[in-house]
Structure 1
Amino acid sequence: MKIAVLGGTGLIGSQVVKILQTAGHEAVPLSPSTGVDLLTGQGLSDALKGAEVVVNLTNSPTFDDASPAFFQTTMDNLLAAAQREGVRHAVILSIVGVDLVPDLAYYRAKVLQEDILKAGPLPYSIVRATQFFEFIDAVISWTADESTVRLPSNPLQPIAAADVAQAVADVSMGAPLQGVRNIAGPDVFPLDELGRITLAARGDARNVVTDDTAGMFAAVPGDVLIANNDAVIAPTAYREWLGR
């Protein structure tokens, strides 16, 4: 089966392509570097010829008020081209609890992306993942100085990018869900404690101060980023991953 993977050279996409190819599928990574521009639509129809499934793992270059326009344009281009070329299943990657964080522009933009897919002409699947292990260092850096890291105490249930890639690949190889599959890591941490664990593993002596007004996640209410009971729990634990 031919599966086109937009964003197929990125952190998740490159792993998805490898998993699909190992499973015997013709997985084709698509990105501007391969001549496919989802924002303009350049090269898209040709790239989707013969594809039964398209996986969209592209992301907005910013997390601000410009992000809704990115997802509106790219999804419109994708669905139009996919319908023309007879694609039978569209898959996107989203965020657990994304529809419960209206104060964040990027989360509103991801809800828009989901809504466009649901209302579109193709059978679809949405994989919602919790925050990636690989992004925790960036989260720490947003509110850090030379001696202190300020983090809120919101609970997170982070997941390894490799486990996300496996989940996306599994959904891509199956029948359309016509709905959402939630995936999450095995452990829940307050974000400030996650910062302390991470810094200790890195040998970083900076002090983590609990500050529920600090950083992007300060806008997240309660425990909405924790997976519900219907979630698929991934195998890789954060401390295990850090130890590698």
Structure 2
Amino acid sequence: MKIAVIGGTGLIGSQVVKNLNAAGHQAVPHSQSTGVDIISGEGLEAAVAGVDVVVNLTNSPTFDDASLGFFQASMDNLVAASEKGGVGHFVILSIVGVDQVPGLDYYRAKVLQEDILKAGSVPYSIVRATQFMEFMDATLAMTTDGDTVRLPRTPVQPIAAAEVAAVVAEVAVGSPLNGVLNIAGPDVYPLDELGRLTLTAKGGTATVVTDDTAGMFAAVPGDVLIPQAGDGACVTATHYTDWLA
């Protein structure tokens, strides 16, 4: 298959390209560095012309309300170019429980991205992943003040980026789901506990204080960020403690 991976030079995209090419497909990474601008539309039609599948792994540069404009413009351009180019399958990466967190601008923006894809004429697949293990340091940094880290007890089920990339690549070469696949790591942790585990493993000296009002995850109700029983989620193999080690 010929596959255009938009955002194909990032954390997930670069691994998706590698996996697809190793499996014998022709996957081409596209980004601003290769002359493709998803906001202005420059280079998009050429990037998706004649391809079987488009995988969009681009992300908003901010997590505030500006992310809504980013996903609106980028998806409008990508869907239009894909329809014009006769693309047979369009894949995006989203977040488990994203439609259950209206209090976060970024999550509302990701729902908008999903809705624009669903409204188009190109058959599609949406892969929703839980929080990446690789982002735990950034999560800690967001609520660190001196030697104190404040984190809520929000349940999370972290997944390794390499396993996200593997599933995205597998979905890309399969039949369109015209729906959602949830994927998650094997273990559920309260976020505050995960913070303590991370700091201990890395020799950190900061103290994690449980604070259900701290950081962006404070806006998350209940356990919506983890797959729910009966939703057919794909659970991957890598445990967070093994990943840390």
Q: Does the pair score TM above 0.5?
A: yes
1:13-52 alignment runs, 5 A limit: 13-52=13-52
1:196-207 alignment runs, 5 A limit: 196-207=196-207
Instruction: Identify the residue that residue 153 of structure 2 maps to in structure 1.
Output: 153
CA displacement, residues 115-155 of structure 1 (integer Å, 9 cap, x when unaligned) = 11011110000000000001111000011122111100111
1:108-123 alignment runs, 5 A limit: 108-123=108-123
What amino acid is aligned across from residue 152 of structure 1 in structure 2? Answer: P
Instruction: Identify the residue that residue 238 of structure 1 maps to in structure 2.
Output: 240
CA distance in 1, matches of 2:12, 2:121: 26
1:77-156 alignment runs, 5 A limit: 77-156=77-156
Instruction: Identify the residue that residue 163 of structure 1 maps to in structure 2.
Output: 163
For normalisation by structure 2, the TM-score amounts to 0.98
1:69-80 alignment runs, 5 A limit: 69-80=69-80
Q: Indicate the larger mover: 225-234 or 102-111.
A: 225-234
CA displacement, residues 71-114 of structure 1 (integer Å, 9 cap, x when unaligned) = 01100100111111111100000000000000000000000100
Q: Helix, strand or coil: the match of 1:17? A: helix
Match status 1:214 vs 2:214: yes
CA distance in 2, matches of 1:96, 1:222: 13
Q: Aligned pair count? A: 243
CA distance in 2, matches of 1:148, 1:79: 45
CA distance in 1, matches of 2:5, 2:228: 28
CA distance in 2, matches of 1:192, 1:110: 25
Question: Runs ≥4 in structure 1, deviation > 4 angstroms?
Answer: none
CA distance in 2, matches of 1:44, 1:117: 16
Deviation of 1:205 (Å):
1.5
Question: Mind listing any 5+ residue stretches in structure 2 that lack a counterpart?
Answer: none
Query: Could you tell me the percent identity over the aligned residues?
Result: 70
CA distance in 2, matches of 1:61, 1:26: 28
CA distance in 1, matches of 2:48, 2:226: 35
Q: Helix, strand or coil: the match of 2:144? A: coil
CA distance in 2, matches of 1:233, 1:112: 26
Question: Mind listing any 5+ residue stretches in structure 1 that lack a counterpart?
Answer: none
CA distance in 1, matches of 2:15, 2:168: 10
